[in-house]
Structure 1
């Protein structure tokens, strides 16, 4: 199935082709995607409505999240992801659990490559969402993860965070595999909390470098 302009632009933002602050020009996008300007215009309007893009004068740029928005996003993410893990512990099939375990083994190959690890991390979390077997929760988590694309860097870029994140993933999957609903929920919420803490430290270090520069 051919992807529409909206999906292609959204994937480009999620994949880091367009980062927060980047200007999106209708004519350039149409040429790049090989489509007419009308579907691109409609896609940009839709993304603006969803707060993925924001106005800068007459131009549209990829939105960025301030500190308060970031904190709010992580609060919602921790609650919804925790619920997904709890439901996965109850409803996940043996096949889904095997897939999660295989993902962790495969993701070890990406240690040292934060961008690849970030993509693998998104796939892992999406698999837990699906294992919850709750379509409404999957839908809401899709919105949350779309907003996560507005973060310019990944917390997995922090020293040692990749190894720690995989260990946390392992604890989450073990709880799901054992049907331990409360433990799965707690492990995933702790994982999100640690990711948020790491991101705050990265941001603080970045601001310190800027002020010193």
Structure 2
């Protein structure tokens, strides 16, 4: 529940997490809250500021490193999906894109459905170990305070990139699926860098 709250932006990078407040918010005792916080700190999702725990943030280099790993793992997932995804799974991915075109002007809704699309892509690889590793990567993605989909004009382009991924998978073309993911995540990373640079401009 804490991780989900970070993921949806209730707690942003730099937010201080207080045991008593979390226990009240989630309606549980402080013991499981304490254990959860310790686990999230071990996973580097939280960091210490004196005696307090705060939501960690990723610097430029860490973000770049994360995108490198994400691109390789997700590219592999797409390549495997081209080999192993069922017709039904491919149809679901296509239906997700079609539905997203109806909500393309709503960045928050698109960001949520984007996560579902990528998760479905991971599952279509039919490799449980790869899915587990991608889950860890996506946990760290929650530390990025903004979504590249919030940048004006990014939504429709991202959906076209999703379409290229699904087309390659439906054609059972593993290398093309890998390259389509690589292009998609490269564009997302460039968009995020430009957005962050603009936000820091004086």
Which is worse superposed, 110-119 or 143-152? 110-119
After TM superposition, the structure 1 = structure 2 runs for residues 1-213 of structure 1, keeping only pairs within 5 Å, are 8-208=1-201, 212=202
How large is the RMSD of aligned CA atoms in angstroms?
A: 0.7
Unpaired runs of 5+ in structure 2? none
Q: Deviation at 1:110?
A: 2.0
In the TM superposition, residue 115 of structure 1 has moved relative to its aligned partner by 1.5
Shift of residue 14, structure 1, vs aligned partner: 1.0
Q: Deviations over 1:26-64 (max 9, x none)?
A: 001001111000000000000000011011111111110
* Structure 1 spans left out of the alignment, 5+ residues: 1-7
TM-score with structure 1 setting the length: 0.94
How many Å apart are 1:109 and its aligned residue?
2.2
Q: Distance in 2 between matches of 1:115 and 1:19?
A: 15
Q: Name the count of aligned residue pairs.
A: 202
| 3-state SS, counterpart of residue 53 of structure 2 | strand
Aligned residue in 2 for 1:4: none
- Distance in 2 between the 1:31 and 1:200 partners? 37
Taking the aligned partners of 1:47 and 1:155, their CA distance within structure 2 comes to 25
SS of the aligned residue for 1:74 comes to: helix
Q: Distance in 1 between matches of 2:45 and 2:54?
A: 9
* Distance in 2, Cα, partners of 1:204 & 1:32: 35
Q: Aligned partners of 2:67 and 2:134: how far apart in 1? A: 12
Distance 2:9 2:170 in 1: 33
